[in-house]
Structure 1
Amino acid sequence: MLEVVGLETAYGSSQVLFGIDLSIRQGEVATLLGRNGMGKTTTVRSLLGLTRAKAGQVRFRGERIEALSPDRIARMGLAVVPEGRQIFPNLSVRENLLAFAARRNASETPWTLDRVVALFPALADRFGHMGNQLSGGEQQMLAIGRALMTNPHLLILDEATEGLAPRIREEIWRCLAQLRAQGQTILVIDKYVQRLVKLADRHTLIERGQVVWQGGSAALAADPSLWHRYIGV
């Protein structure tokens, strides 16, 4: 589904990514892990076309996208739950969801308002509330639901559990496990390795804009020294 080869990205004269390689197969849950400031969010921005790649190739569903505009990439079925949620504060929960409704894949069970509420029952009684009236956890649920309403081929979650209470984090993990069971292809950026090794199929660790390790969950779980060396947990 996604194939990244030799991705290099810079902000002006400051290069951030140095040849990132990453691949995600359809129906797979993959992670991108590393300490803060190591290039994870820049990688996501490069995949989305928000920061133009300096070199390398990005193929999404067989088509090169590194030179495409962000809106074209989004219409191809790549959706992101951004760090910080970034929901519309002056739109209601219902309006936030409907504003992004689209059919970007041919699933027989597309995401609808009813399906999002079934996934996040806490939103059911909040449909008429404005985005800025929600708690942080409710905003995160709304951000995930909004991305799902596009019916994406690939869903990217950038620090989806950051700053949330433990109970709400558990709700997000439950949601992601359910999405995996339904065959949704997902790329997760997070720091809770113990949860990610149970959820994801494969992992990519980066440090200073370079891939330092790639492998499956069994290998990552078996070597906690990798967690301490590259993730800081």
Structure 2
Amino acid sequence: MLSVSGLQSAYGPSQVLFDVELGVGEGEVVTLLGRNGMGKTTTVRSIMGLLKPSAGTVRFTGREVSGATPETVARLGVGLVPEGRQTFPTLTVRENLVATASNRLKRQNPWTLERVYALFPRLGERAGQAAGTLSGGEQQMLAVGRALMTNPKLLILDEATEGLAPVIRAEIWRCIEALKAEGQSILLIDKNIHVLKRLADRHYILEKGRTVWSGSSAELTANADLVHRYVGI
């Protein structure tokens, strides 16, 4: 579904990505791991068209999208839950959810307001409340719900549970488990290795803008020294 090969990207003269390789198959949950500043968010921005790569290829469902606009990538079926949530603070919960809602890919059993409220009951309870007045955890639920309302083929979550209280973090993981059970393809960035090893099918590790390792959860578990070296856990 998603294939990234030899990806290089820079912010002006400062090159951040030098050789990123990763892939996500149909129905897979795949993680992108690494310490802060290693290029994970830059990789996501490059995939989404928010940053134009200087070299390499990004292909989605067989189509090259390297350098495509964010709108084009989104229309092809990539939904993003960005780092920092980035909800529309002056719009209500309901307005945030319907603002970008679509089912261009004619998905069966599409995501609707009712389905999102069933997944995150708190959002239903706060449907008329301005997003800017929600707690951080509720805003993260809203960001996930908003991405799901685009009915994506691939869902990307950048720092899925960063800064959240344990009870909210558990709710986000429950949501991701439910999405996996439905066959949703997911690319996931987070630091909770223990949960990621249980949830994900495969993992990629970035170090200074390069993919330095990839493998299954069993292989990641067997390489504790590697995790400590590159992820710091």
What residue is the counterpart of 2:10 in the other structure? 10
Could you give the per-residue CA deviations for residues 175-228 of structure 1, whole angstroms, max 9, x where no partner exists?
000000000000000000000000000000010001111000011012221221
Give the Cα separation in 2 of the matches to 1:192 and 1:104: 33
**Cα deviation per residue 1:138-178 (whole Å; 9 max; x = unaligned)?**
10000000000000010000001000000100000000000
Secondary structure (helix, strand or coil) at the match of 1:109 reads coil
Write out aligned runs for 1:37-56 (5 A). 37-56=37-56
Aligned partner of 1:171 in structure 2 is: 171
Given residue 30 of structure 2, which amino acid in structure 1 is its aligned partner? A
CA distance in 2, matches of 1:226, 1:146: 35
**d(CA) in 2 for partners of 1:173, 1:221:** 19
Partner of 1:84: helix, strand, or coil?
coil
Q: Which residue of 1 aligns with 2:136?
A: 136
SS of structure 1 residue aligned to 2:170: helix
Which amino acid in the other structure matches residue 226 of structure 1? L
Deviation at 1:108, TM superposition (A): 1.2
RMSD: 0.8
1:33/1:203 contact within 8 Å kept = yes
> Residue in 2 aligned with 1:124?
124
Quote how far apart the aligned CAs of 1:105 are.
Answer: 2.7
Q: Distance in 2 between matches of 1:74 and 1:157?
A: 14
Letter in 2 for 1:25: G
Match of 1:227 in 2: 227
Per the alignment, residue 148 of structure 1 pairs with 148
Deviation string 1:60-90 (CA, Å, 9 cap, x unpaired) is 0000000211111111111110000000000
The one-letter amino acid of 1:89's match is P
Alpha-carbon contact 1:40-1:189 (below 8 Å) kept: yes
CA distance, structure 2, for counterparts of residue 194 and residue 73 of structure 1: 31
8 A Cα contact 2:51 2:67, kept in partner: no
Amino acid at match of 2:110: P
Gaps of 5+ in 1: none
TM-score, normalised via structure 1 length:
0.98
1:176-215 aligned within 5 A:
176-215=176-215
| SS of the residue 2:212 aligns to | strand
Alignment of 1:23-172 (within 5 A): 23-172=23-172
Partners in 1 of 2:126 and 2:191 — Cα distance?
29
SS at match of 1:213: strand
Which digits, 9 at most, give the CA deviation of each residue in 1:36-67, with x for residues without a partner?
Answer: 00000000000011110000011000000002
Point out the more displaced range, 102-111 or 58-67.
102-111
SS in 2 for 1:226: helix
- Shifted more, 186-195 versus 14-23: the winner is 14-23
CA shift, 1:18, in A, is 0.8
Partner Cα distance (2:179, 2:16) in 1 = 32
Q: How big is the shift at 1:14?
A: 1.3
**Residue pair 1:49, 1:69 contacting (<8 A) in 2 also:** yes
Q: Which aligned runs of 4 or more in structure 1 are off by greater than 3 angstroms?
A: none
% same residue = 61
